[in-house]
Amino acid sequence: MKIYQGKSILKGITIGKILYYSKEEQMVQRRSITDTEAEWTRYEEAKEQASKQLNALYEKALKEVGETGAAIFEVHGMMLEDDDFNDSIKNMIEAQKVNAEYAVASTGDNFSLMFSQMDDEYFQARSADIKDIAERVVRILQGKNADGELGDEPVILAAKDLAPSETVQMDKSKLLGFVTELGSSNSHTAILARTMNIPALIGIPVSEEMNGKMAVIDGVKGELIVEPDEELLASYQEKKREEERQRELLLQLKGKEDVTLDGKKIRLYANIGSVGDVARVLANDADGIGLFRSEFLYLEKDTFPTEEEQFQAYRTVAETMAGKKVIIRTLDIGADKQADYFNLDHEENPAMGYRAIRICLDRPEIFKTQLRALLRASAYGNIGIMYPMIISVNEVLQAKKYVEEIKAELDEKGIPYGDVEQGVMIETPAAVMISAQLAREVDFFSLGTNDLTQYTLAIDRQNAKLDNIYDSHHPAVLEMIRMTVENGHKENCWVGICGELGADTTLTETFLKMGVDELSVSPGSVLPIREIIRKTKIGDGGF
């Protein structure tokens, strides 16, 4: 039995076998071979297996996301059969007498570079596709599983680190919890763990030796216990049963109003990252969705999601929520959320760099595609649009101008849309200081406390070394929240909190007394927050 001490992302207990997850860095060695015919046969067999994988992925995607979403796998299958691609691999194997892995990897790099340097945007986008195809074939030749495959049984995932895009592509039903060596408790991968409501730890020295071993994640103590003895395992199984009993007690709050003892009604919403998360929203009885992180539609793809793909996702969520509010944050890419096909330059300080609304206003063709999809989907439910990383009134005015232009286009084509509320994320000190002016231009504010804390304290929330002084309860942060609520209400602008601080039960009463109108939290936090709301008396307020 070994006990590893880490830092908890989400409290709770989970028990299961560990799956060590390797990023598969595609370290391909060049080997000299003598039998070129046998090596070519190895490649053809691997190519056939890759083709079967892509067909299976296409069929799965067809059922889950429709024909448009599945098309990428069909494109990959066609590119895998491309004569130029295959001729290049064959020529390298025969002329240079090298192993198939090296020939595939080199050809993939060469074709990817060639596509990326073309002027045509379509062919530029194929650069990432050809790289993905080559990596898939190399994995097969090396006898490795595809990234994101967790097997048939639910597991505790152990990895050096996980990017949001990797986590998003995994089968969430197979994740009991995860532990990583790197990362921060304030990273977006950590936020995703909270959204999925699974115990998770960071700062655990993971190794391949853990693979397949029984383990316990103790999210209360921040411990990973590998191969616990029978007595300890039995005690944790009892603790887990007690957790489930407590959860059942909370379920008695389902259907109850989110209202304080003295009659103040609070909007209690949930945060999601994908269409699949809506089931957890409904299961936990949230009154709406206060934050749909639309960037995950981009992170889980190899190229820009089309207007139709986005429309279908937004429409599905809006229809499923059956008239309840669904607030969708426009694309918040950049910083720790990277997608290769955006071709974003490396930045020394990406958290303060080219990201979110800055990218959207600089690349209006991307932004307008999303806004059109959102407006079209608003005809099927109660959708609100929220703009992230705002620092000026001009940014809001430009975004609203695009919305009006698109409404005019839709009117001309006879395409319906709903009455859409527009709001902004308050997550920079600049936005707080001009919140009175911003409130005159929008319907609502939503405080993004993760970034607001980061920028207020000048602490990189991705830097694990600073976790000990990253204080989201800092008086300056709380004062900024209070100031935002006050300024918003003066202009009839309702104010919510959608950052991680919204689920901090030690501050729920404080927020209610500040006058916060809405709390949007991970689905699993809805009922615990409801319990506090219903036991709180605001009185005259005050903070």
Residue 105's nearest CA partner among 125, 71, 131 is: 131
Q: How would DSSP label each residue in 372-403?
A: HHHHHHGGGSEEEEEE-S---HHHHHHHHHHH
Tell me the backbone φ, ψ of residue 191, rounded to 5 degrees: -60, -40
| Chain centroid offset of residue 469 CA | 25
C-alpha distances out from residue 221 to 10, 180, 503, Å: 11, 16, 20
> Left, alpha or beta for 201 (phi > 0: left; psi -120 to 50: alpha)?
beta
**Residue 191 and residue 188: Cα distance in Å, rounded?**
5
Residue 498 annotated as catalytic: yes
- Exactly one of 76, 360, 493, 498 is catalytic; name it: 498
Q: With contact defined as beta carbons under 8 Å apart, do 173 and 179 qualify?
A: no
**Residue 69 and residue 309: Cα distance in Å, rounded?**
6
Q: Please report, as a single letter, which amino acid is at residue 13.
A: I
- Exactly one of 76, 188, 360, 493 is catalytic; name it: 188
Q: 386 forms bridges with which residues in the sheet?
A: 329, 423
Residue 188 annotated as catalytic: yes
**Residue 496 and residue 372: Cα distance in Å, rounded?**
25
Helical packing angle, 364-377 and 307-320, nearest 10°: 30
Enzyme catalytic residues:
188, 498
